[in-house]
Amino acid sequence: MFLITDKQNLTPTVSLLKIKAPDVTRHAKPGQFVMLRVEENGERIPLTIAEANQTDGTISVIFQVVGATTKKLSLLKKDDYLLDFAGPMGKPAKLDGLKKVCVIGGGVGCAIAYPIAKALFDKNTIVHTIIGFRTKDLVFLENEFKQISEKSFLVTDDGSYQNQGRVTDILKDLLEKKETYDEVYAIGPLPMMKYVSELTKKYQIKTIVSMNPVMVDGTGMCGGCRVSVGNEMKFACVDGPEFDGHLVNFDEAIMRNKMYESFESKKYQEVCNTLKEESK
Amino acid sequence: MINLSKEKNVMPVLDPQLRIQTFDEVALGYTLEQAQDEAKRCLDCKHKPCVNGCPVGIDIPRFIQKVIEGDIEEAYQIISESSLLPSVCGRVCPQETQCEALCVRVNKGESVAIGNLERFVADYHYEHQKIESTKIIPNQIKIAVIGSGPAGLSAANDLSKMGYSVDIFEALHTPGGVLTYGIPAFRLPKDIVQREVDMLKSQGVQIHTNVIIGQTIYIDELFENGYKAVFLGTGAGLPKFLGIPGEMLNGVYSANEFLTRINLMKAYEKISETPIQLAKRVAVIGGGNVALDAARAAKRLGAETVYIIYRRSMKELPARLEEVHHAIEEGIIFKMQMNAKEIIGNEFGFVGKIRCVDMILGEPDESGRARPIEDINSNHIIEVDSVIMAIGTTPNPLIIQSNPDLNATRQGCIITLGDSGETSKEMVYAGGDVVTGSATVILAMGAGKKAAMAIDQKIRSL
C-alpha cells in the first residue's frame, strides 16, 4: 500500500497527488512514468512522474479525470492509500548537450512537459515554452513555466485567457520569425503532437514527443502499447515513451487509442452513477 | 493386485457446453477410489523408467505405492522431496512427453496416469492438512530472487529450507509469474497458486511486489544492500509478432496481453475495470499451450467461432494432448498447415479479415519436425474480428540492458555455466525461461532447484 501525502486540485478536472514511494524515487528521472492501481479489481494505468522528491521519498503525479479510474483517483485524499504503485518505467528523457529548446505542453500534457522544461533549465539550456489549454478554467502551472522560460507563451482555444489559438500558431510564428531551436519537445494530445511534428519537419528541427498509448503491465511483456516509429514496431513502455516525432505514425496511434472507447465511457458512467447514488 | 486395464481411469471433466460459459476448472480430479484404482495399474518397476522422464526426478513408483496403501500424506511427502508445486505440475506438465512417455505400460495400452495421481495427492494433502511451517534453522545470509514464477518460487523454497533469508522481487502486483498471468483458471485455478505462495511466506520468504529489476532497483544495489547472491528467474515475457501487415490494427493482441487482461486483471468479470475486446470471430496464430489457452479463453468470453491457425499438422502441435482434446470438445476449429500473411482492417481501424496461405510439409528441419513451406499459389481469406499472436516469447531485455556484464545470446537468453545456473556476473545465478527461452513449468522449477544447490555450495566455499 502506498500513502498519499498530499493532494491538490489544480483545475476542476486536474489534480496532483504526492505518493510516498522511496523505492520509486531513487532512480526516477524526467520523462519516466509509473503504473498504479487504485484498488482491488482496478485497472493498471500509466501516469508520468511530475516530480521525484528524494528528500521525502515521494513521487508527484498530475492527472486529468478522463474515465472511471482517474475519477476514482480524484476522489482520494491526503492519508488515503493506493493499492499498487510501480516504477520508474520507460527510458529517461535525453536532455544533455542542448543549447536552446522549445517545450510545448497541451492540456494535462503540461504536467509532463514541465519537469522536462525544468530539467533543461537546470542544465542551463535556454528554454522557450508554449502551453495550451481549452479554456481559462483549465490553466495550471502557468507561473512555474514562466519562471524557467526565457520566453513563455500561453494560448487558450477559445481565447478566454491570454492568446487565442493553438500552440502551433505560436510555434509557426516563432519559426517564421527565424527563431531556431536544437530541439522541440511536444507533449500533449496526439493530434497536437502530430501537428507540431508536421510543422517542425518543414524546418528540419528535431522533435521529441511523449507517446501515451494504452498500457497494461508497463514492463514490456504484452505489447499493448506498441507504436510504429519509422515503420518499426516499438513498445512505448520500454523503448519510449519518448520518440522522434518525425518518425511516429500518429494516425495509427490515434486509432489505437480508440480501441476501448465504448467500454471506457460505460465504466465512467457507472462510476458517476454510483457516486450520485451515494451522495443522495 | 495389479489393475490390468489397458486404459487410464478417465478424469471426470465439466461438460463442454457448460464449461465454455465459465472460467471454472475443466478437469475435476480423481476421487480417492479412482486414484487408488489407477495407482494399482503401476507395476512398481525396479528400474523406474518413469523417474528418468521427470525433470525433477520425483520417485514416482514410491509415491504411487503409498496411494495404494491409502497413506496420501506420505505420498505427498515423497513428492515434496523433489517438487515444490505438485498441484500445479500435476495439472500443467506435458506428461505424455515426460514421465508417462517412459512408463512401461505404454507398450501395451496407456501409461499410468502419473500426472493425475500427482495432482490427486497434492489436492488431497491441502484439503486434509493444515499448512505447517517447516522447522528452519536460519543462517542470517540474505539472498535475492528476482521473479516469482516457477523458477523463482522453486529456488526460494529450497534456499529458505536451507536456512537462507530469501527476498523475492516481483514486477507485477501479484506473484506467480506465468502461473498467475498466463495459464487460465480453467486449467489452473488461481487459489492453487495462492496457496503455494502462502506456503512459502509461512516459511519466512518475503515477497516484494511492484519492484522492477533494472528500473526500481539494480542488481548491484542488491549486493550493496547485503544480499550475498542473486537468482534471476525473470522468464521470457517479451512477445513476438509476425511482422506482417495489419498487426497494429485494433483487435490484434499478443497472447501475453490477451491472457494478462483475462487472468491477472480478471477482465472477464463484470466488476473488473480492465477492458477486453469481446470478439465474435477470433483467430489465434500458433499451436502451443499458450495458443490453446488464448483460444479457449476467447471462447469463454463469448466468441462464436475460434480458429487455431498453425503452420504444421495436428501431429506436430506442441500443445499438451489433453488440452488439444479439451479444445476440440469446446468447438475450437483447427486450421492446420496454414500461415497468416496479412491482417486486413475494416473502416473503423479494427480487424476485419485475415489472409492465409497453405503450408506444405517438407523434409524434417533442425528441430526434427517437418519444415513447413508456403504454397504461394494458395490464398484463404477468413473473416475475423480479433487476431491473437501466440508465436512465442523471448526474455525481457531490461535485465541485460541494466547489466552489461551479463552474457546473453542474440535472442536475449542469459548464458549459464552448465546446470548450475552460474552466470558471467559474480554471485548471480539464473534459471528457467530466461536461460532456455519459453519452456515448461517443471523445467523452470528444476532449474530453480539446481541453482539453489549451486548457490548454497558456492556460499559454503567462500
% of chain A exceeding 90 in pLDDT: 90
> Nearest CA of chain B to the CA of A271: how many Å?
10
- CA pair distance B150, B436, nearest whole angstrom: 14
Pairing state between β B370-383 and B351-364: antiparallel
What are the pLDDT digits (tens) for B329-375? 999 999 999 999 999 999 999 999 999 999 998 888 887 778 889 99
- Cβ–Cβ of B248/A26 closer than 8 Å? no
pLDDT-derived band of residue B31, with 50, 70 and 90 as boundaries? very high
Q: What is the pLDDT of residue B98?
A: 93
Task: Judge whether A41 is closer than 8 Å to chain B, CB to CB.
Answer: yes
- Given a cut of 90, whether residue A278 has pLDDT beyond it is no
pTM assigned to the model: 0.94
Phi, psi of B221 (to 5 degrees): -65, -35
Query: Chain A partners of B385 at a C-beta cutoff of 8 Å?
Result: none
What are the pLDDT digits (tens) for B173-211? 999 999 999 999 999 999 999 988 998 999 899 999 999
Query: Chain A partners of B269 at a C-beta cutoff of 8 Å?
Result: 41
Q: Are the C-beta atoms of residues B259 and B294 closer than 8 Å to each other?
A: yes
pLDDT-derived band of residue B136, with 50, 70 and 90 as boundaries? confident
Q: What is the pLDDT of residue B132?
A: 63
Rounded to whole angstroms, what are the CA distances from B383 to A32, B245, B306, B345, B356? 40, 16, 11, 10, 11
Query: Chain B partners of A23 at a C-beta cutoff of 8 Å?
Result: 211, 216-217
- Cβ–Cβ of B248/A256 closer than 8 Å? yes
- Given a cut of 70, whether residue B133 has pLDDT beyond it is no
Q: Which of B178, B209, B212, B256 to mutate to test the interface with A (most CBs of A within 10 A)?
A: B212
- CA pair distance A111, A114, nearest whole angstrom: 6
% of chain B exceeding 90 in pLDDT: 82
- Cβ–Cβ of A233/B211 closer than 8 Å? no
Mean of all residue pLDDT scores within chain B: 93
Q: What is the DSSP string of A2-14?
A: EEEEEEEESSSSE
pLDDT-derived band of residue A108, with 50, 70 and 90 as boundaries? very high
- Cβ–Cβ of A238/B397 closer than 8 Å? yes
pLDDT-derived band of residue B430, with 50, 70 and 90 as boundaries? very high
Nearest CA in chain B to A238: B398
What are the pLDDT digits (tens) for A131-149? 999 999 999 999 999 999 9
Q: What is the pLDDT of residue B411?
A: 87
- CA pair distance A212, A23, nearest whole angstrom: 24
- Cβ–Cβ of A233/B247 closer than 8 Å? yes
Query: Chain B partners of A258 at a C-beta cutoff of 8 Å?
Result: 250, 349
- Given a cut of 80, whether residue A89 has pLDDT beyond it is yes
- Given a cut of 90, whether residue A150 has pLDDT beyond it is yes
Pairing state between β B206-208 and A14-20: unpaired
Number of CB pairs < 8 Å for A and B? 112
Query: Chain B partners of A228 at a C-beta cutoff of 8 Å?
Result: 248
